[in-house]
Amino acid sequence: MPGRGPRASSRDAILRVFAEHVADRGYADTSLGDVAAELNLSKGTIVHHFGNKETLLREVHVAYFARRFAEADFVHVHLADPVSRLVAMIYALLAAHRDDRAASLACLRELVRYFDGDLTDYVRKQRVRYTEIVVDILRAGVEQGLLRTPDPQMTALQVFGMCNYAWTWYRPDGPQTVEDIARLFAHDILAGLVPRPGADPELDELVSAAIETVRRAPGRSASDDPGPDHPASGHGAPDDPTSENPGGDRAEPVPTAP
Amino acid sequence: MPGRGPRASSRDAILRVFAEHVADRGYADTSLGDVAAELNLSKGTIVHHFGNKETLLREVHVAYFARRFAEADFVHVHLADPVSRLVAMIYALLAAHRDDRAASLACLRELVRYFDGDLTDYVRKQRVRYTEIVVDILRAGVEQGLLRTPDPQMTALQVFGMCNYAWTWYRPDGPQTVEDIARLFAHDILAGLVPRPGADPELDELVSAAIETVRRAPGRSASDDPGPDHPASGHGAPDDPTSENPGGDRAEPVPTAP
DNA sequence: TGTTGCTGACCGTACGAGCGGTCAGTTAAG
DNA sequence: CTTAACTGACCGCTCGTACGGTCAGCAACA
């Protein structure tokens, strides 16, 4: 127990346990009382720190996407060609299931809560921005003749689906490692399931190399590593979390996924 | 209002409205009182018919899978080769988002409730069986040299993911039709995103033909058509819904998805 | 050095709303 | 008359939230 620590802020701990509960039970079935009890805190303390339950979920979500954006930045810095970047994004999305489990599941389970304007527009912007990163990769690949798709937006949703749906079946102690899964998914979607005579072995190497690049990224494997302070570089978070887009229209012209 | 109809069983109406509420709000946030009010019924009536809330969800789930199994039967009867069958299954899964919206969303949203033994083993068996249908198609394709994947089980999960995740972004009034989406997804996963010189145009025809076959299936377009009484043919439901597998182990060796 | 006063993390209780579920009774069809 | 759909009041419970109060640490001041 924190034992009324000397200014020991319980914020992070509350956020962590709350995310775990949401990941395991879902938002509606997560009780603040249970979270408080697990931390030997009073329910009132949680309210003191965050105000209400919804804010907790929002903070989990914002932090999760900050980590994903930092990851995307890393990918763009260390990998140049669109195909490698796409593989890396697939791997990153799948690896989050293992390395950022609680937040990943919490966000994916409760994803639908961000549709009806329940949560801040900032969260919506994060989702749109993240989707655009992958769409841009696909579009660049098509322009360079390295990829082929008549609708990058739609294909991005396909990629998000095959990765994000993993939360329903992926288990860290399963037979396949995340790297195995990423390699298979990337190969399937890049080379296709229909075999062709002139299948180039270079593709397998490219896939493995891209995965390895991200896997060896600094600040990995430490599961409770909150990641670098996500410097506001290329794909940094849009605007500011505190500013409530005034008069922002609720219409969502382009579907987003992650 | 049904006006205390002549033996007019409200069962189906309750099930329908309940599924819609779960699809829109999720199971935990669905109130039996709200469902009853929408039907001008008393909450007690719902309990009278179904016993409790969990049973309602289970019945929605069982009915949903019965429809999917009937669909899979149709596919196997009318399409012979594994590639066409795979395309048809992709299309069927996507089309359910449009033609069987409420039940699809309800099942996909609350999918995770079937992991911890909350619901009957029968529901679990349905999921496993459905997964096996697609795995078998993939395996047959590999054996006949028409498909290539080192791990049919994993690839099946990939396919389920890209289809089922559509519930998070698909809107019936969106720019693309379900047929467009299915065609794109099928082509992407079959031919791959990396273009190859000798891309055969036959594949596009095969994809379109398979989709068209399922689209023209009898008993379609009538949205509230409960479908044929899913005759217990090849892929019929496993065992009996009422029999509670005694001593069934909770272990789920192979992950399932839909 | 002693004291004073402020800040903020934290507690404990209370409250009101809403939930799933119960049950005795009513109504109408067969 | 029997049966079953249905009602509406009711119970027990859980939850999010509100709020008054406690106490440790710290800084300013005498």
pLDDT in tens, B117-171: 667 788 888 999 999 999 999 999 999 999 999 999 999 999 999 999 999 999 9
CA distance linking residue A84 with residue A78, whole number of Å: 10
Which position has the higher pLDDT, B49 or A244?
B49
Residues of chain B with pLDDT under 70: 1-8, 114-118, 198-199, 221-258
Q: What is the pLDDT of residue A9?
A: 67
Q: What is the pLDDT of residue B246?
A: 39
CA distance linking residue A71 with residue B52, whole number of Å: 45
**Helix then strand then coil, % of chain B, to nearest 5:** 60, 0, 40
Q: What is the pLDDT of residue A240?
A: 52
Residue B243 within any structural domain of the chain = no
> How many domains does one find in chain B?
2
CA distance linking residue B167 with residue B174, whole number of Å: 13
Which position has the higher pLDDT, A242 or A39?
A39
Looking at the fold, whether B20 and B100 belong to one and the same domain comes out as: no
Q: Is the CB of B177 under 7 A from strand C?
A: no
Which position has the higher pLDDT, A258 or A21?
A21
Helix (H) / strand (E) element for B40: namely none
Contact B170, A179 (CB under 8 A): no
Looking at the fold, whether A153 and A78 belong to one and the same domain comes out as: yes
Cβ neighbours of residue A29 closer than 8 Å, sequence gap 6 or more: B28
The verdict on a CB contact (< 8 Å) between B161 and A165 is yes
pLDDT in tens, A212-243: 999 998 777 544 343 344 344 466 656 555 44
Q: What is the pLDDT of residue A120?
A: 77
**Among chain A residues, CA nearest to B176:** A154
CA distance linking residue A27 with residue B31, whole number of Å: 16
Contact A138, A146 (CB under 8 A): no
pLDDT band at A169 (very low <50, low <70, confident <90, very high): very high
Looking at the fold, whether A34 and A160 belong to one and the same domain comes out as: no
Looking at the fold, whether A42 and A68 belong to one and the same domain comes out as: no
CA distance linking residue A179 with residue A191, whole number of Å: 18
Residue A1 within any structural domain of the chain = no
Which CATH number is A172's domain given? 1.10.357.10
Round to a whole number and report the distance in Å from the CA of A106 to the C1' of D13.
27
Residue B70 within any structural domain of the chain = no
Q: Is the CB of B136 under 7 A from strand C?
A: no
Looking at the fold, whether A38 and A91 belong to one and the same domain comes out as: no
Contact B138, B146 (CB under 8 A): no
Residue B236 within any structural domain of the chain = no
Q: What is the pLDDT of residue B202?
A: 87
Looking at the fold, whether B34 and B88 belong to one and the same domain comes out as: no
Round to a whole number and report the distance in Å from the CA of B32 to the C1' of C20.
8
Q: What is the pLDDT of residue B232?
A: 40
Q: What is the pLDDT of residue B242?
A: 46
User: Per CA to C1' distance, which residue is closest to C18?
Assistant: B31
Q: Is the CB of A44 under 7 A from strand C?
A: yes
| CA of A43: nucleotide with nearest C1' | C11
Residue B240 within any structural domain of the chain = no
Of A6-15, A59-68, A89-98, A188-197, the range with the lowest mean pLDDT is A6-15
Residue B126 within any structural domain of the chain = yes
Q: What is the pLDDT of residue A113?
A: 75
Looking at the fold, whether A79 and A140 belong to one and the same domain comes out as: yes
CB atoms within 10 A of CB A176: 16
Is the pLDDT reported for residue A164 higher than 60? yes
Looking at the fold, whether A31 and A139 belong to one and the same domain comes out as: no
CA B151 to chain A, closest CA, distance in angstroms equals 8
CA distance linking residue B154 with residue A165, whole number of Å: 12
Residue A230 within any structural domain of the chain = no
Nearest neighbour of A193 by CB, restricted to B149, B160, B198: B149
Q: What is the pLDDT of residue B116?
A: 66
pLDDT in tens, A79-116: 999 999 999 999 999 999 999 999 999 999 888 776 66
CA nearest to B237, candidates B111, B114, B106, B65: B65
Angle at B193 between CA B191 and CA B199, to 5 degrees: 45
Looking at the fold, whether A31 and A122 belong to one and the same domain comes out as: no
Say what the pTM is.
0.86
CA nearest to A74, candidates A218, A175, A183, A194: A218
Contact B166, A161 (CB under 8 A): yes
CA distance linking residue A122 with residue A36, whole number of Å: 27
Looking at the fold, whether B97 and B159 belong to one and the same domain comes out as: yes
Task: Give the end of a domain, one of A180, A195, A215.
Answer: A215
Helix (H) / strand (E) element for A240: namely none
CA distance linking residue A170 with residue B256, whole number of Å: 10
Is the pLDDT reported for residue A185 higher than 60? yes
Per-residue DSSP letter, B114: G
Is the pLDDT reported for residue A1 higher than 60? no
Q: What is the pLDDT of residue B258?
A: 55
Residue type, B196: R
The verdict on a CB contact (< 8 Å) between A154 and B28 is no
Residue A224 within any structural domain of the chain = no
Token digits of residue B144:
């006949």
Looking at the fold, whether A144 and A166 belong to one and the same domain comes out as: yes
Q: What is the pLDDT of residue B223?
A: 40
Q: What is the pLDDT of residue A183?
A: 97
Looking at the fold, whether B41 and B95 belong to one and the same domain comes out as: no
CA B155 to chain A, closest CA, distance in angstroms equals 7
Q: What is the pLDDT of residue B75?
A: 97
Q: Which domain holds residue B20?
A: 11-50
**Among chain A residues, CA nearest to B86:** A193
CA nearest to B133, candidates B8, B242, B4, B257: B257
Inter-chain contacts counted by CB atoms under 8 A, chains A and B: 149
Which CATH number is A22's domain given? 1.10.10.60
